[in-house]
Structure 1
Amino acid sequence: MNTRTSLAVILLALCFHGSLCFLPAGFAGFQRHACRSSSMRSAAARRVTIMSDKEDFLNRDIGGFTQKQRFREEIESPFRKIRLFLFPAAAASAALGAFIAGTRLLAISTGVTGYDFDQTLQNFGIDVLGATGFALLYWNDLNARDRDLVRIARSGKLSTLTLKIVSETGREASLPMKAFRKQRRIAIIAGGKDVVQVAREMARAGAEDLTKVGAIVLPLQLDQVGELDPAEVEGLRRAVGVPEAAEGKEEADSESLLPCLAAPLFVEKWKDWIQDEQKRAVDQGLDLKNGITIYVERSGYIKKRSAGIPSWRTLAEDTKARNRPYGMPEFF
């Protein structure tokens, strides 16, 4: 009876083991798949959280400028923070020396002996000049930092503005300015109706060369700008290398776009951005009636401004000369 019972137990154990070996073959694969799916979802969720935290950190406002803009300013001037620490420290040290020398001069004037008047006066003068000089250097560097931050903030605002353009395959697209970084150089030509029309004609006249070097002309019509008389318009056309317009062609081509000719979208936002440029041009004595050209380099910076409209040959040659390898941190 004991032997039979033992054999029955062994057979049951073998059957149970076989069933376990059979069932997990599918179940284990399902479990592994479920674990992998769960791990992938967790990793994706962590990446999304990290990217969201990164964006929140970079876009956090600090004193009127985002952390992203401050990082960019530090990349441009990596030693400025060191100078902004050393200059006030040196000025404070010189001011302390001037205070000590001043008290000694005061003591000498009251009859206290033991100090060399000439040496003390010399030390006092050196300390005062040192404190003043380091304070001026600090003030100059601080103002330069603020100007750079304002310029970077303006470039950041410009990068969000949208334009409409046609690709070389003929496909029309609406893209933000930042989409052209590292790829295209953009000449924003702002002025009255006549200036905008001549700018369009200039881009069409040199379309092949401008497209080849990666230049884009973006005409932007300004409000309350005087118009040119017919003679001035024809003179402007000749100056920028535009042949005489065929009758009726001007209106037919007024809205057509090319790979080198774009149009602004949401024009009011563009006009709001360009107001500071208008003020600077007026302060410099430039006549807005003849238009102004703002060059946005592939870095996204505005490196050059000029009065009037450049010829398409000048724009193509200048862009070709500036076409060099360029890179910047991806979070910009």
Structure 2
Amino acid sequence: MARIRSEVLSPFRSVRMFFYLAFMASGALGGLIALTQLLPALSNPARAGGAAETLKGLGIDAAAVALFAFLYSRESKAKDAQVARLAREERLSRLKLRAGAGDGSGRPLALGELRGTARLVIVAGPGEFVAESFRRSQPLLRELAERAVLAVPFATDGNAPELRVDEGVVVVVDDDLARRSRRLWQLRPVYTTEWAQWLDDQKKLAGVPPDSPVYLSLRMDGRVRGSGEGYPPWQAFVAQLPPVKGLWSGLLDGMDGRVL
């Protein structure tokens, strides 16, 4: 599936790689022909006059082969990196969540089921880190809810804090918006071993120490748009992400930032 998505996202990559191979083969064939002409010219003084021109052609062919080999190698590495990233995103989309206040109610759902409806921010670290991330988001609950941001707190030490939104923080201007603000921190990971394994793989790939607290910000389509060590930049999310209601609904849905 990851390879198919890679082809869809980069439809002309296979065409480019085919032409690179064709040009490499053409250059290699031209070089072979030039070499067969050069050797007799060097061994026969009577034909030595054309050796310089033949040698020049051989150099051009060799340079062409080297250039297209470099381009092919670069394209192949980019393809492998993209396929690996898409495979990780597919694994992420299969991780399970439960919506609720942490009492075990609510059916588990795959993270991928929230594509197109929410921008998830995974907050992973010790319980104290999760609690502080929650506290820092409080002044911006309304703005984050307008942008369909939902937090996924994952306490890696098993000490999941109780995250209750202070009713005084939520300004009731819109009942639906107030309700979404209160739900912003109500997603809970289930099957936490799978979550821990996925995060460990991500940290290893990024060169991040295994015990470092991190955040990952996902686009509306479920792809990773940003990540880092430390607390999520809630203020930056508000500044960068467009609202998903009113005049802006649908118009800026794709402007979630480039994929990492």
The answer for the alignment partner of 1:272 in structure 2 is 197
CA–CA separation in structure 1 for the residues paired with 2:100 and 2:62: 63
Supply the distance in 1 between the matched residues of 2:98 and 2:231 (Cα, whole angstroms). 21
Q: Which residue of 2 aligns with 1:214?
A: 148
Runs of 4 or more, structure 1, over 6 Å off, are 254-257
Count of paired positions = 229
Judging changes above 3 Å, is the alpha-carbon distance between structure 1 residues 179 and 251 closer, same or farther for their aligned structure 2 residues? closer
The alignment's TM-score, normalised by the length of structure 2, stands at 0.77
- The 8 Å contact of residues 189 and 219 in structure 1, kept in 2 or not, is answered as yes
Which of 12, 15, 21 is 1:82 aligned to?
15
Residue 169 of structure 2 corresponds to residue 259 of structure 1: no
Q: Does 1:151 align with 2:85?
A: yes
Q: Report how far residue 91 of structure 1 moved.
A: 0.2
Listed as ranges, the matches of 1:286-305 within 5 Å are 286=208, 291-305=213-227
Structure 1: which 5+ residue stretches go unaligned? Answer: 1-67, 225-249, 327-332
Per-residue deviation at 1:220? Answer: 1.9
Distance in 2 of aligned mates of 1:132 and 1:159: 40
State the 1:69 CA deviation. Answer: 2.2
Q: Deviations over 1:73-103 (max 9, x none)?
A: 1111010110121111110110111111122
**Aligned partner of residue 116 in structure 1, secondary structure:** helix
The alignment's C-alpha RMSD in Å is 3.1
Q: Considering fraction of residues, name the structure with more helix.
A: 1
* 1:319 is the counterpart of 2:241: yes
Greater mean alpha carbon deviation, residues 199-208 or residues 259-268:
199-208
Q: SS at 2:241's partner residue?
A: helix
Q: What code does the residue aligned with 1:69 have?
A: A
Deviation at 1:199, TM superposition (A): 2.0
Q: Is the 8 A contact 2:128 2:161 kept in 1?
A: no
Paired position in structure 1 for 2:28: 95
Match of 1:202 in 2: 136
CA distance in 2, matches of 1:267, 1:99: 59
How big is the shift at 1:106? 1.3
Displacement of 1:127: 0.3
Match of 1:109 in 2: 42
Specify whether residues 184 and 301 from structure 1 end up closer, same or farther in structure 2 by C-alpha distance, changes over 3 A only: same
The answer to whether the Cα contact below 8 Å between 2:123 and 2:152 also exists between their aligned partners in 1 is yes
Q: Residue 4 of structure 2 corresponds to which residue in structure 1? A: 71
What is the correspondence of 1:18-37 to structure 2 with a 5 Å cutoff?
Answer: none
SS of aligned partner of 1:163:
strand
Q: 1:97 to 1:72 in 2, by over 3 A?
A: same
Partners of 1:266 and 1:145 lie apart in 2 by 31
Following superposition, the deviation at residue 307 of structure 1 comes to 2.2
After superposition, the Cα gap between the structure-2 partners of 1:165 and 1:203, relative to the gap in structure 1 and judged at 3 Å, is farther
Mind listing any 5+ residue stretches in structure 2 that lack a counterpart? 167-180, 255-260
Deviation at 1:223, TM superposition (A): 5.3
Residue identity in the other structure for 1:97:
G
Residues 181-200 of structure 1: pairs in structure 2 closer than 5 A: 181-200=115-134
1:181-233 deviation per Cα after TM superposition (whole angstroms, max 9, x unaligned): 12211111222232122123334443222112101111223359xxxxxxxxx
Q: What do residues 214-260 of structure 1 show as CA deviations (whole Å, max 9, x unaligned)? A: 01111223359xxxxxxxxxxxxxxxxxxxxxxxxx96537999421
Amino acid at match of 1:263: R
- Name the CA distance, whole Å, in 2 between partners of 1:267 and 1:216: 18
* Rg larger in structure: 1
Q: Aligned equivalents of 1:95 and 1:277: distance in 2?
A: 41
The answer on whether the counterparts of 1:196 and 1:220 sit within 8 Å (CA) in structure 2 is: yes
CA distance in 1, matches of 2:13, 2:62: 24
- Which one of 120, 139, 163 corresponds to residue 54 of structure 2? 120
Q: 1:125 to 1:296 in 2, by over 3 A?
A: same
Q: Percent identity?
A: 25
Normalising by structure 1, we get a TM-score of 0.61
Deviation per residue, 1:97-120 (Å, 9 max, x gap):
111112222111211644611211
